[in-house]
Amino acid sequence: MPAFICNTCGTQYEPSEKPPANCIICEDERQYVTPQGQTWTTLDALRGRCYNAFRELEPNLLSIVTFPAFGIGQRAQLLRTPHGNVLWDCIALVDRATVEIINAMGGLKGIAISHPHYYTTMVEWSEAFGGIPVHLHAADRKWIMRNGPSIQLWQGESKELLPGLTLIRCGGHYPGGQVLHWAQGADGKGALLSGDIVQVVADNKSVSFMWSFPNFIPLSAPRVEGVVNALAHYQFDRIHGAFLDRTIWHDGKGVLARSAERYLKIIRGDGSYELQ
């Protein structure tokens, strides 16, 4: 039986004879069902009309993006280390070419995903590389639409994946929202792979936060403060965001602090940010 994939968000469901009646991820207010209604595809159909492209972001870090764009349109990131490679965030398309390219670079030791909107075909990715573990925070277990023995739920505030790679639970967008800290990134100054828990925005000079990005529902002040506090003890000069060409190249920690301060002043009604 096929495992159907939502066309809007890219989430794959358990194998079934016919498509599910609805996508639980999209019906949540952080996502949406299009005015045309719920539609589905399969991985085989996706493989027939899309392909993945690789691009180096910095030494040992590559982005993987699907063309034409599918689902939410986020990028996955392949992080290479002397202790093994990790896939950060997922995209729906995993095909033979993608697997062969990654295997030629040393394969994968594990997968970690920032939040449920990017779970997509995580079980397929795991199986394609021999059943490697998929590291998700336990606070978001209810949003797992396709389960499997490779799913490993962790609890707490941080988890070392490999030497120099640490998952940090920031919350925010989802209770279990997590980012990946790479101590050796940015030439040893540290880099943050942030998904959209810390969203790099269009000017590539600042970041922002939302409870729902497509529906423009802001994140509360306490949750923004929670994200900043979770990252307080980590050093990073660079922030690689969820989408193509969304990277803060320098002073990432300072950018986070200034962006959060601006956000909090606006959401609390500080008059200095009102339009004149």
Distance of CA 25 to the CA centre of its chain: 15
Q: Is the pLDDT of residue 276 over 50?
A: no
Direct distance between the N- and C-terminal alpha carbons of the chain, in angstroms, rounded to an integer = 60
Tokens representing 67? 């063309």
Q: Average per-residue pLDDT in the chain?
A: 97
Q: What is the pLDDT of residues 156-203, one digit of tens each?
A: 999 999 999 999 999 999 999 999 999 999 999 999 999 999 999 999
pLDDT in tens, 78-123: 999 999 999 999 999 999 999 999 999 999 999 999 999 999 999 9
List helix spans (H) across 67-179.
96-104, 122-128
- pTM reported for the whole predicted model: 0.96
DSSP assignment of 180-236 equals EEETTHHHHT-EEEEETTSEE-TTSS-EE-EEETTTTEEPPHHHHHHHHHHTTT---
> Which one-letter amino acid corresponds to residue 128?
A
Confidence tier at 270 by pLDDT (50, 70, 90): confident
Interval 34-77: pLDDT, tens: 999 999 999 999 999 999 999 999 999 999 999 999 999 999 99
Those residues with Cβ within 8 angstroms of residue 222's Cβ, 6 or more apart along the chain or in another chain: none
Local confidence band at 274 (pLDDT 50, 70, 90 cut-offs): low
The sheet that has 61-67: what strands, in order across it? Answer: 51-58, 61-67, 76-79, 86-88, 110-112, 134-137, 151-154
For 159, phi and psi rounded to 5 degrees?
-150, 125
Rounded to an integer, what distance in angstroms lies between the CA atom of residue 262 and that of residue 15?
45
Find out whether 29 and 217 touch, Cβ atoms under 8 Å. yes
* DSSP code of residue 220: P
Domains annotated on the chain, with CATH: 5-273 (3.60.15.10)
Asked if 264 and 216 count as a contact pair (C-beta separation under 8 A), the reply is no
* Cα 134 off chain centre by: 13
Percent of the chain with pLDDT over 90: 97
